[in-house]
Amino acid sequence: MSCCKTYDPCLDGKLNQIGSYASAARQSATSAAASEAAADADAAAAAASATQTNNYLTQVTNIFENFDERYLGSKSVPPTVDNQGNPLQEGAMYWNSVSNGLFIWDGSVWVALPTGFDEFTNFLATGTTFARNLVTREADVVNVRDFGAVGDGVTDDTAAIQAAIITSDFIFIPKGIYFINTNLTIPQNVTFEFVNGAKFLLGAGKTITWNGGIIAGDYQEIFSGDLIQSSFIPNSVIPYTFGIQGNPKIKYSTPFWFGAKADYDPISNIGTDDRIAIVCAQYFGKTTYFPSGSYKIVGNINEKRSNTYMYGAGASSKIYQRDTGPSGTGALINIGGNNGGVGIEYAIIENIWADCDQLTNENMIGIGSDAIGFARKCKVDITGGNSGRAAATMQGNVTECYINLIAEDAVTELSASGRYAASIESTFGTPSTIRSNKIDIVINSSVQNGATIYDAEDCEINFLCKNIIGDPAIGEGTLVRLRGIGRGNKINAIAEEINNRLISSEATHVDFIVNAQCKIVKSDLSSVVYPYQINGINGKVNIIIQDHQDDGSGEINGTGIEANISIKANSNTTLAPIDITGDYCEVRPNVEGTSCTNGVILVRGNGNKVIGGYVKRGTGLKGVRILGTDSQCIGTTVLGDGIEAIRVESSAVRPIVTSNSLIGSSPTIVTIFSGSSSGCIANNTNDTGTSTGKMIRIGNYALWTDATGDLRIINGTPTSDTDGTVVGTQS
């Protein structure tokens, strides 16, 4: 093959335009070589010949739409612009009247075509080893227009498309609207390529069962017409009868394929409802991609199928819920729910930004099941604007699921009850049905209540918000609540201000962990606020309250509770910030209660301990009060002036008060317990009171050292340092 440059057809399109008209172009150009005028005439003839073949050529390639703009005629020197003076376009041609050869512009240089080249000439494509001609190359791609498709949106093109499917496994769809008014099936081995502006229009009641492949852009609309052919079907895995069905062989679908506009403006509240397009994309295959845009949805996204994946481009893929849509659809983003008893697993939704409506009955994220079905190993990981009344909730038979949400705002319903920003609950009263789940949630605003776990096992919530503003008069305003029956649950929660309790746990929770922290427990409310109420068995609790402003006492009512409590009560608080009424609990305090007239810490119940830490009391006010059976106060620093730094009450049985440090002016330990109880009050640093505050009781007998260092004993309770009988001296 002789030419000015080795021909490099990077794209078949560079040669497709020359096939059938090449001979006519050469004949016209040969006459042109004799005379310039004749050449121009022949070139015009060649152009006319090319025009006649143009309709065929444009079906094969979408590159050239007008042959007259590409063929530049006969030239004695290579042209640098086209005949209109515009830059040369890739694929432009001219006949060189000097070398008597046809040349094509490859985008940078003129390339000579081989002598005798036509549509039947075999040639090697770059990087290949087998030569083929244009006819065989054109047959690689079948164009539906070759089979009579019109693409005018009116003529039924189903038969033409079906004929193309029989011929080839790769179908090219040029620009146009192709009316499908007969049911159509796309086999698994067939792929359709849609150019921009090409789409199928589905007739009323007709279906396309699509099992093959699709090549289309993320923002193209390729389906329209009767896409949803039923009303919403509640409690069903498939919520609608879809016009486009099947199991397509695609990487993902997008809402734009089904007509989404993603044009919503939240400021003006103007935009297209994209719900139908989103639902169609969601149920067309198993993976749905949301390209960047602002999607408005009247309703929700409800995934009821296993092994599905929905994702976006991060914060630029925004979904705005506006109004509730069909009843029974649940949260804005919902996995499972009332699923007709069918289980769902491995459904994932992530990397999108969502915003709930400001209406009071909206939730952001829900994972759940009905009483028969289940949800397992599902995940939602998104960011958002308004998070709704319940930002994240799991209900029903749910196991090993995960929700992660960062939201800017929340709906608050101060007149309603039970609205928790994050909740995990069985709803069926059986903790084993909802277990091993986790919620991580951050809300950069105020909510009615924080996090709750209800009838669940081995679940975890990590929660952060600004304020908890629910009304305590109706039981709201709690940061952490453990309800019903539970085992092995954990909640970590932080807020700035709360209106009610930092923690509330019920007696039937076992082996739980709660870490809760806030700056302020408010006092400007009509109801008494208890900073925490802890029930349950074998729980571990860490509490930090920087400013407790109300007059309610903090209560530990459970059994085997281990608590680290840091709380500062201001001048409004007269009741004890720590009141231990349960059994066998252990508290490590860092507590201030300078106005607490009834004691800063009350140790009641059985076998309870105050270990280490510090207690700050007001002058002359009680610090730690021992009232229960087998109670202990060991190694605690008590700050404050005057008597009763530690007070052992008459109700105390077998108390142990030892190794404590009293700091202040003339602090004392007062013991008034009596009876047959044993006990030990000894080795407390800086106890300036009488020796009766430093005695050991063995049965009815009290044993102590008096002011001179002598050891004394009495059957009963001593009334003074010199009561009883000396049984040992220092000499």
Using a pLDDT cut of 70, give the percent of the chain over it: 82
Mean pLDDT for all residues in the chain: 84
| pLDDT score of 504 more than 80 | yes
CB-based contact 725:716 (threshold 8 Å): no
pLDDT at 380 over 80: yes
Whether residue 169 is found in the same domain as residue 281:
no
Q: Is residue 171 part of a domain?
A: yes
Q: Name the domain boundary from 138, 162, 182.
A: 138
The residues near 86 (Cβ < 8 Å, ≥ 6 apart) are: none
Average pLDDT rounded to a whole number, residues 61-78: 67
Is pLDDT of 91 > 90? no
* pLDDT per residue as tens digits for the range 70-90: 788 889 999 999 888 888 887
Question: What is the distance between the alpha carbons of residues 546 and 517, in angstroms, rounded to a whole number?
Answer: 8
198 and 259 both lie in a single domain? no
Angle between helices 22-34 and 36-60 (to 10 degrees): 170
The conformation of residue 60, written as its DSSP 8-state character, comes to: H
Query: Is residue 7 included in any domain, yes or no?
Result: no
Tell me, yes or no, whether 268 and 366 share the same domain: yes
| CB crowding 637-654: b at 16 or more within 10 Å, else e | bbbbebbbbbbbbebbbb
Residue 593 belongs to some domain of the structure: yes
131 and 181 housed in the same domain: no
Which segments within 522-660 are labelled E, that is strand?
532-534, 540-548, 555-556, 562-569, 578-580, 586-593, 601-603, 609-611, 614-617, 624-626, 632-634, 637-639, 646-648, 656-658
Whether 160 and 90 map to the same domain: the answer is: no
Say if residues 506 and 484 touch (Cβ distance below 8 Å): yes
One domain for residues 638 and 719: no
pLDDT tens, position by position, 187-230: 999 999 999 999 999 999 999 999 999 999 999 999 999 999 98
Same structural domain, 51 and 65: yes
pLDDT at 17: 44
Q: Is the domain of 179 the same as that of 264?
A: no
Query: Reading across the β-sheet that carries 375-376, which strands appear in turn?
Result: 344-345, 375-376, 398-399
Average pLDDT over residues 97-112: 85
Please report whether residue 560 resides in a domain: yes
- Comparing 20-34, 222-236, 405-419, 622-636, the range with the smallest average pLDDT is 20-34
- Is residue 278 packed enough to be buried (19+ CB in 10 Å), middle (13-18) or exposed (0-12)? buried
Segment holding 277, helix H or strand E = helix 275-282
Reported confidence tier of residue 124, pLDDT bands at 50, 70, 90? low
Q: In terms of Cα–Cα distance, which of 577, 584, 573 is closest to 606?
A: 584
* Structure confidence by residue, pLDDT tens digits, 579-594: 999 999 999 999 999 9
Q: Which residues contact 569 (CB under 8 A, 6 or more apart)?
A: 548, 577, 591, 592, 593, 594, 595, 596
Task: Provide the pLDDT confidence category of residue 432 given band limits of 50, 70 and 90.
Answer: confident
3-state secondary structure of 149: coil
pLDDT of residue 312: 97
Distance, CA of 611 to CA of 657 (rounded, Å):
10
- State pLDDT tens for residues 436-469: 999 999 999 888 899 999 999 999 999 999 998 8
What are 324-344's pLDDT values in tens digits? 555 444 678 999 877 667 889
- The answer to whether position 719 is within a domain reads yes
- Is residue 214 within 8 Å of residue 192, measured between CB atoms? yes
Q: Are residues 708 and 676 in the same domain?
A: no
Question: How many folded domains does the chain comprise?
Answer: 5
pLDDT of residue 527: 60
- Same domain (yes/no): 105, 159: no
| Confidence at residue 11, expressed as pLDDT on a 0 to 100 scale | 38
Q: Provide the Cα torsion 615, 616, 620, 621; round to 10°.
A: -60
Average pLDDT over residues 227-234: 88
The more confidently predicted of residues 147 and 68 is 147
- For residue 178, is it within any domain? yes
Residue 645 domain flag: yes
pLDDT value for 119 = 64
**Domain-embedded: residue 543:** no
pTM of the predicted model as reported, rounded to 2 decimal places: 0.78
Q: Which helix (H) or strand (E) holds 521?
A: strand 513-521
> What contacts 515, CB < 8 A, 6 or more positions away?
491, 492, 493, 541, 542
Q: How confident is the model at residue 177 (pLDDT cuts 50, 70, 90)?
A: very high
Q: Give me the domain span that covers residue 154.
A: 142-225
| β-pair type (503-505, 513-521) | unpaired
pLDDT of residue 690: 60
The tokens for 287 are 């993976």
Claim to verify: residue 263 and residue 379 sit in the same structural domain: yes
- Radius of gyration of the CA atoms of the chain, in A: 42
DSSP structural state of residue 629: B
Do 159 and 77 sit in the same domain of this protein?
no
On whether the CB atoms of residues 655 and 676 are closer than 8 A, the answer is no
Q: With contact defined as beta carbons under 8 Å apart, do 540 and 560 qualify?
A: no
